[in-house]
Amino acid sequence: MMELLNILEWGVSILLIFFALAAVVSKKLLTSIIFLSVLSMAAVAAFALLRAPDVAVTEAVIGSGLVTFIFVTSIRGLRKAGDSI
Amino acid sequence: MRKIFTALFVVFFGIVLLLGISRTIPLTKYEDKIVPTSAGGAFIEKKVNITTENYKDYKDVIFGETRDAETGSANMVTSVVVNYRAFDTLGEITVLFLAAVGVSLLMGGSGKKKRLGKSGFILKTAAGILFPVMLITGIYIFTHGHLTPGGGFPGGSMIASSFLLLYLADEKFELKLKGFKVAEGVAGTLFIVIGAVGLMAGGYFLMNFLPTGTVGNLFSAGIVPIIYVLIGLKVGSEITGVLSDMMTVEVHE
Amino acid sequence: MIRLASLILILIGLYGVFSTRNVIKILVGVNIMELGVNIFIISIGFVNGGLAPILTSGSFSSALNFVDPLAQAIVLTSIVIGLGITTLGLVFARKIHVNYGTYDLSKIGGGSDD
């Protein structure tokens, strides 16, 4: 049982770092926003592993639905949704 | 060039930060549970690191049986947020209110909404089924905030998400926001009125003056479920107003 | 291990704030930093073998059984305030786009029009 929890901890940590790097490095804006939403889901898994159900429910509701929508509705005015620097 | 300099700076700063933190907090190991060996006789865990004998007389709070506990709520995070640190929750509601007022002042000018495009058949049908389910789940989460994980903040946000689903599914849907703004104002005022009643009835602002019943019932824990219902309604209507303001198209000069 | 990952998340967010000229990507970096700080605070309150801080009919209620509920109360506040900050920041970004026509910070002069 301790080995399974150890493997889950390592897995969640590696996913967190990978998605954050992908969100920062990518060239298109829409890709960054989608990776931010997936990073929020990995953070919910980390909160559930650290025995915090209140915080996990709050982050799931706020990080997945509201923040992603607010970001996407701000880049609608650009000529292509992949316009970026 | 800029990226290379930034990466070098972040790596250098990161090494300093990690070395500094690892002197006070271990970075990869967590603390172990303290198990007393001579208290109550109910513990059978054997993962003992530090034995202590100061915990001989503690009152055991049993779910469903204990009456008139100090807080009365079965969710400990709720009793910290609403009962012991209720003033910090009042500060958080103020910050959220400031953000909503700022958005509404800056963005509410033209009033014309631009939608995200035509929605297909699946979204229209599914929104009709999902909207009442999400609404009832949101209301359930904030009324049972003292028994199950959740509370006022995720409950209110789920109500706002259900209205967002209605906006996305239908192009010609418009909410009349007057009732939402009235509900938000009334809920915020009632929070402060309850705090003032606590000040008059006992010692301090936001004191828990109602009797805390049996731990685990729906009507228990004093003013905690009442305050969470008010917070849920206020946060839900506030975030609905913010989302409706963010969809307006701005006038280019 | 999650504590170390949250510190690295803060550093990645810091790199994301400084290494780009686009206002929206700066806000994405700020959001990543906020996620890292929240995970770090909760990982401080964690105890090996502790339960989630909710009383049920099966567990004993001594305070030594549970993980720290005070850290979770603080992070609950912090997540909601992070939402407010992101919203207001994006409203300012849209006003920049209305006035200057671009999201690029290097094309917006600063302080040279007076």
For residue range B18-63, list pLDDT tens digits in order: 999 988 888 888 887 766 555 444 444 444 333 344 444 455 677 7
3-class SS of residue B177: coil
Distance (Å) from the C-alpha of residue B72 to the closest C-alpha of chain A?
18
> Which residues of chain A make contact with B247, given a CB cutoff of 8 A?
73
Length of chain B: 253
For residue range A61-80, list pLDDT tens digits in order: 999 889 999 999 888 766 65
**Which of C21, C50, C72 shows the shortest C-beta gap to A85?**
C21
Q: Does C19 touch chain B (CB under 8 A)?
A: yes
| DSSP for residue B64 | T
Which residue shows structure tokens 């009152």? Answer: B59
Contact B164 A76 (CB under 8 A): no
- In terms of Cβ atoms closer than 10 Å to its own Cβ (0-12, 13-18, 19+), residue B172 is exposed
CA-derived radius of gyration, chain B: 25
Chain A contacts in chain C segment 7-46 (CB below 8 A): 8-9, 12-13, 15-16, 19-22, 24-25, 27-29, 31-32, 35, 38-39, 42-43, 46
| DSSP element (H, E) containing B24 | none
Length of chain C: 114
> CA-CA-CA-CA torsion for B212, B215, B221, B225, nearest 10 degrees?
-150
Contact at 8 Å (CB) between A39 and A66?
A: no
Contact at 8 Å (CB) between B228 and B82?
A: yes
For residue range B85-98, list pLDDT tens digits in order: 999 999 999 999 99
- Reported ipTM: the value is 0.88
Contact at 8 Å (CB) between A18 and A52?
A: no
pTM value is: 0.89
Domain ranges of chain B: 2-250
Domain ranges of chain A: 2-81
**Phi, psi of A16, deg, nearest 5:** -60, -50
